[in-house]
Structure 1
């Protein structure tokens, strides 16, 4: 008897939950259309110039025509970076291990 009562209550609960869910989602409005993507005309990715020399490969990274990082990969040894960290035009030396250890996001939020 107890088993039948539990089964009846469980089935009643499942039926009630199913009908409540159908009523809840029946009147949902259609989702709006997605807006068109914003096109600003400016490239978001940096312009990379690769210079191959006999003993090294140099990659120059520019954004809006301004050089901000140079990656030098020698034939023998680890690659290293010259970076303009504060925008004054002076390049600072960074070895690959230091660069991988300290990865700080460097996004341009505003420029004028």
Structure 2
């Protein structure tokens, strides 16, 4: 019970102590940050989308920096589905409907013969 009283008193006194702290008079604003280095202008680049028709289906390919990472296939009949890059060795995973984080199965190389 005594600890509760001490904690309660500290909870009321800490804001009073913080407001009583002195603010120095010689504060200056921070300088403007330098521009980003060359090649780093677009940190979050927009994906390049290529839309093609393959028969009755519409295929949208999404690329960032030239790397294909997702394909959206919209068939004439039925719901669209996505093919997302599972790993760097061209493994693709299909997901129906909405893009959701999938469970990534580890694919470590233990031995090579």
The two structures have a TM-score, normalised by structure 1, of 0.54
Aligned to 2:36: 37
Unaligned runs of 5+ in 1: 1-16, 105-112
Distance 1:87 1:41, change over 3 A: same
Q: Considering only aligned residues, what root-mean-square deviation do their CA atoms show, in Å? A: 3.1
2: CA distance, partners of 1:30 / 1:67: 44
Query: Considering only CA atoms, is the larger Rg found in Structure 1 or Structure 2?
Result: 1
Q: Which has the higher helix share?
A: 1
Aligned to 2:25: 26
Corresponding pairs, count: 83
Unaligned runs of 5+ in 2: 1-18, 104-113
2: CA distance, partners of 1:30 / 1:53: 58
The two structures have a TM-score, normalised by structure 2, of 0.54
Give the Å deviation of 1:41. 6.1
Partners of 1:50 and 1:58 within 8 A in 2? yes
What SS does the corresponding residue of 1:78 show, helix, strand or coil? coil
